[in-house]
Protein backbone atom coordinates (compact mmCIF):
# COMPACT_ATOMS: atom_id res chain seq x y z
CA UNK A 1 0.00 0.00 0.00
CA UNK A 2 1.37 3.40 -1.01
CA UNK A 3 2.26 5.92 1.68
CA UNK A 4 -0.40 8.37 0.49
CA UNK A 5 -3.07 5.65 0.62
CA UNK A 6 -2.03 4.71 4.14
CA UNK A 7 -2.30 8.29 5.35
CA UNK A 8 -5.62 8.79 3.57
CA UNK A 9 -7.08 5.62 5.07
CA UNK A 10 -5.81 6.58 8.51
CA UNK A 11 -7.03 10.19 8.51
CA UNK A 12 -10.25 9.94 6.44
CA UNK A 13 -12.51 8.45 9.14
CA UNK A 14 -11.15 10.77 11.81
CA UNK A 15 -11.49 13.91 9.68
CA UNK A 16 -14.92 12.94 8.39
CA UNK A 17 -16.13 12.22 11.92
CA UNK A 18 -14.97 15.66 13.06
CA UNK A 19 -16.58 17.27 10.01
CA UNK A 20 -19.83 15.40 10.70
CA UNK A 21 -19.78 16.56 14.33
CA UNK A 22 -19.33 20.14 13.11
CA UNK A 23 -22.23 19.66 10.69
CA UNK A 24 -24.44 18.43 13.53
CA UNK A 25 -23.40 21.42 15.67
CA UNK A 26 -24.46 23.81 12.92
CA UNK A 27 -27.70 21.93 12.38
CA UNK A 28 -28.51 22.06 16.09
CA UNK A 29 -27.51 25.71 16.44
CA UNK A 30 -29.77 26.70 13.57
CA UNK A 31 -32.70 24.95 15.24
CA UNK A 32 -32.01 26.28 18.75
CA UNK A 33 -31.39 29.90 17.81
CA UNK A 34 -34.51 30.06 15.67
CA UNK A 35 -36.74 29.45 18.71
CA UNK A 36 -36.55 33.06 19.93
CA UNK A 37 -36.40 32.44 23.70
CA UNK A 38 -34.31 34.19 26.36
CA UNK A 39 -30.58 33.66 26.84
CA UNK A 40 -30.68 31.01 29.59
CA UNK A 41 -33.31 28.89 27.86
CA UNK A 42 -31.35 29.13 24.63
CA UNK A 43 -28.17 28.07 26.43
CA UNK A 44 -29.94 25.13 28.08
CA UNK A 45 -31.56 24.08 24.80
CA UNK A 46 -28.21 24.30 23.03
CA UNK A 47 -26.54 22.12 25.65
CA UNK A 48 -29.32 19.53 25.50
CA UNK A 49 -29.27 19.46 21.71
CA UNK A 50 -25.48 19.08 21.67
CA UNK A 51 -25.49 15.89 23.80
CA UNK A 52 -25.45 13.65 20.69
CA UNK A 53 -22.50 15.62 19.34
CA UNK A 54 -20.64 15.10 22.63
CA UNK A 55 -21.40 11.38 22.32
CA UNK A 56 -20.06 11.34 18.77
CA UNK A 57 -16.88 13.09 19.88
CA UNK A 58 -16.50 10.57 22.71
CA UNK A 59 -16.80 7.72 20.22
CA UNK A 60 -14.18 9.43 18.04
CA UNK A 61 -11.83 9.77 21.02
CA UNK A 62 -12.23 6.07 21.81
CA UNK A 63 -11.90 5.06 18.15
CA UNK A 64 -8.77 7.09 17.54
CA UNK A 65 -6.53 4.15 18.50
CA UNK A 66 -9.14 1.38 18.66
CA UNK A 67 -10.77 1.61 15.26
CA UNK A 68 -13.13 -1.31 15.90
CA UNK A 69 -14.87 0.85 18.53
CA UNK A 70 -15.68 3.46 15.90
CA UNK A 71 -16.85 0.85 13.40
CA UNK A 72 -19.13 -0.80 15.95
CA UNK A 73 -20.62 2.23 17.68
CA UNK A 74 -21.09 4.34 14.55
CA UNK A 75 -22.91 1.43 12.91
CA UNK A 76 -25.12 1.12 15.98
CA UNK A 77 -25.79 4.88 15.91
CA UNK A 78 -26.69 4.71 12.22
CA UNK A 79 -29.12 1.85 12.82
CA UNK A 80 -30.60 3.68 15.80
CA UNK A 81 -31.06 6.80 13.68
CA UNK A 82 -32.88 4.83 10.98
CA UNK A 83 -35.10 3.15 13.56
CA UNK A 84 -35.98 6.49 15.20
CA UNK A 85 -36.77 8.17 11.90
CA UNK A 86 -38.82 5.25 10.58
CA UNK A 87 -40.79 5.05 13.82
CA UNK A 88 -41.72 8.70 13.30
CA UNK A 89 -42.68 8.03 9.66
CA UNK A 90 -40.16 10.54 8.35
CA UNK A 91 -39.11 10.47 4.67
CA UNK A 92 -35.99 8.55 3.72
CA UNK A 93 -34.07 11.76 2.95
CA UNK A 94 -34.28 12.70 6.62
CA UNK A 95 -32.64 9.59 7.97
CA UNK A 96 -30.30 9.06 5.03
CA UNK A 97 -28.74 12.48 5.62
CA UNK A 98 -27.73 11.51 9.15
CA UNK A 99 -27.39 7.72 9.06
CA UNK A 100 -25.63 7.62 5.69
CA UNK A 101 -22.51 9.49 6.82
CA UNK A 102 -22.42 7.42 10.02
CA UNK A 103 -22.31 4.21 7.98
CA UNK A 104 -19.62 5.60 5.65
CA UNK A 105 -17.43 6.67 8.58
CA UNK A 106 -18.03 3.31 10.30
CA UNK A 107 -16.94 1.50 7.11
CA UNK A 108 -13.78 3.60 6.98
CA UNK A 109 -13.00 2.81 10.61
CA UNK A 110 -13.57 -0.88 9.84
CA UNK A 111 -11.18 -0.72 6.87
CA UNK A 112 -8.73 1.11 9.10
CA UNK A 113 -8.97 -1.61 11.72
CA UNK A 114 -8.57 -4.41 9.18
CA UNK A 115 -5.44 -2.74 7.73
CA UNK A 116 -4.03 -1.58 11.08
CA UNK A 117 -0.80 -3.62 10.80
CA UNK A 118 0.00 -2.06 7.44
CA UNK A 119 -0.95 1.43 8.60
CA UNK A 120 1.10 1.29 11.80
CA UNK A 121 4.12 -0.58 10.36
CA UNK A 122 6.26 2.54 9.93
CA UNK A 123 5.51 4.11 13.31
Give the 3-state DSSP-derived string for the chain, with helices as H, strands as E and coil as C: CCHHHHHHHHHHHHHHHHHHHHHHHHHHHHHHHCCCCCHHHHHHHHHHHCHHHHHHHHHHHHHCCCHHHHHHHHHHHHHHHHHHHHHCCCCHHHHHHHHHHHHHHHHHHHHHHHCHHHHCCCC
pLDDT tens-digit profile of 64-107? 989 999 999 999 999 998 888 888 887 777 777 889 999 999 99
pLDDT tens-digit profile of 45-57? 889 989 989 999 9
pLDDT tens-digit profile of 12-70? 999 999 999 999 999 888 888 887 788 889 889 889 989 989 999 999 999 998 999 99
Amino acid sequence: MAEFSKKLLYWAPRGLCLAFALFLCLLVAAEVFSQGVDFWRTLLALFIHLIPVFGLLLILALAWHREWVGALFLTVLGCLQIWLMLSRHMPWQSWAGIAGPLFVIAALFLANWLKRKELHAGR
